[in-house]
Structure 1
């Protein structure tokens, strides 16, 4: 970083404890270089607990399954009849398939205790289980542009869709929901991100996952949109710098 000149950073990391060294290095050596998604937002998205706690505290108009942040609280919820799903708190663990990041959906307190006994509490995330859904919807956001698609069985997706099929899996986004998603991005500090959500029986969208800088593999125009956004970000910054230099001269 000291040797080469950088105009912009795109920070996309697997979830590792060593990532803190990367955050510290960028903050120390290149604090004024723009980042597509803020380092704080990337760090937050490494942990489900931090991400959903942020939504609970700062985006109260977005619906999410209720989260429980300790084994004790999750146990009390189960005693009250609440269905719980147990996941690993780390969001993007290296070399771990998506279906292995879910520990299970205990039917009772005994099953719950059995499922968590071999894990550290801080490595787990507990959330209300809303049930099985055949359709998972995804929203992809690039700056102020957003598109939503359907995803049949997100753990076993068909990767060989034709261009026509890619168009047909798109679904309209409720305008109010779109505004709230874009507002969430501004609050957390992300301009390029993805949201997974389901539609509950009462018709409300519930967010079940957040991804910083997703793959966009099912969005053919995403490459050009991301490229344009990067170009505009760098260009606008250069204009600001030139203006400041002229003002000082």
Structure 2
């Protein structure tokens, strides 16, 4: 490919810090266009971009990404990989197939059905089956808590995971095309509630953890993703969630890695055509 590359951002928030910083890097030599997934139509787009970054998970965003892919336009991450990370049941199944240390997960038709049927005592972690903004993630230790949750989330399809004892910190691990970034954050399931994100050098990760999160991307066919990992009392890693194209805020080198990935994928698509 010669000349400038056009990079499309499929997002309602092109000013997101990671995207804004990436766009600033690209615009010195290339073109960046924002595409709002809820209003965009393929037949009214100004022109095709050479590659798109899918920073939205809504049904319309996924439909747009699938249509672009059907026309041979590369999308990062693919619509299929993005959708897989929205279904925690499918996520757990894929992780198990790949031999990843993922939290054992059970699926339930609704929270009301779970609370009324088994009425389990805790500690359990209950989550919305379908991952989205402001979804349900809670630790439950008593029947009273089950009843309270059922009052607000009665019809919500959910999954449950046994609560694994840990020090209360989530290891927030992010990957862009094989480059790993890391931080610590007090879990929203801890008694004190969710805390601020704290820097974590890769050298401070337990041995093998960086390679583990790269293997997640290989298993899920993701290029840009996040993995939440906790250190169990036994010392081993336990994956509790996987996210397609998370925010990756405040990580030095992340915008550069994302810009390089977008340009490389665009060049690869032209070479393969």
| TM-based fold match above 0.5 | yes
Residue aligning to 1:156: 195
State the shift of 1:8 in Å. 1.2
Q: Which runs of 5+ in 2 are unaligned?
A: 1-41, 189-193
- For residue 64 of structure 1, the aligned residue among 75, 95, 102 is 102
Question: Is the contact between residue 88 and residue 159 of structure 2 (CA under 8 Å) also seen in structure 1?
Answer: yes
Does residue 13 in structure 1 map to residue 48 in structure 2? no
C-alpha deviations, 1:162-203, integer Å up to 9, x for none? xxxx4658623523x433432321221201111111101111
Residue aligning to 2:66: 27
Relative to the length of structure 2, the TM-score reads: 0.68
C-alpha distance in 1, partners of 2:187/2:64?
Answer: 39
Question: Is the contact between residue 149 and residue 171 of structure 1 (CA under 8 Å) also seen in structure 2?
Answer: no
- For residue 262 of structure 2, the aligned residue among 210, 230, 236 is 230
State the shift of 1:11 in Å. 1.4
Q: How does 1:1-249 map to 2 (within 5 A)?
A: 1-2=42-43, 3=45, 4-14=47-57, 19-28=58-67, 30-31=69-70, 32-56=72-96, 58-60=97-99, 62-70=100-108, 78=120, 83-93=123-133, 96=134, 101-108=136-143, 111-116=145-150, 118-120=152-154, 122-131=156-165, 133-153=167-187, 155-157=194-196, 166=199, 171-175=204-208, 177-241=209-273
- In terms of fraction of residues, the more strand-rich structure is 2
State the shift of 1:152 in Å. 3.8
C-alpha distance in 2, partners of 1:131/1:173?
Answer: 17
The change in CA–CA distance for 1:187 and 1:77 in structure 2 (over 3 A counts) is: farther
Question: Is the contact between residue 8 and residue 33 of structure 1 (CA under 8 Å) also seen in structure 2?
Answer: yes
C-alpha deviations, 1:119-148, integer Å up to 9, x for none? 345532211111463321121111122233
Q: Which runs of 5+ in 1 are unaligned?
A: 242-249
C-alpha distance in 2, partners of 1:103/1:135?
Answer: 15
C-alpha distance in 1, partners of 2:79/2:206?
Answer: 28
State the shift of 1:205 in Å. 0.3
State the shift of 1:41 in Å. 1.5
Number of equivalenced pairs: 220
C-alpha deviations, 1:92-122, integer Å up to 9, x for none? 22xx3xxx732441324x6435533553455
- In terms of fraction of residues, the more helix-rich structure is 1
C-alpha distance in 1, partners of 2:156/2:186?
Answer: 31
C-alpha distance in 1, partners of 2:151/2:261?
Answer: 46
SS of residue in 2 equivalent to 1:10: strand
Relative to the length of structure 1, the TM-score reads: 0.74
Residue aligning to 1:244: none
The change in CA–CA distance for 1:232 and 1:128 in structure 2 (over 3 A counts) is: same
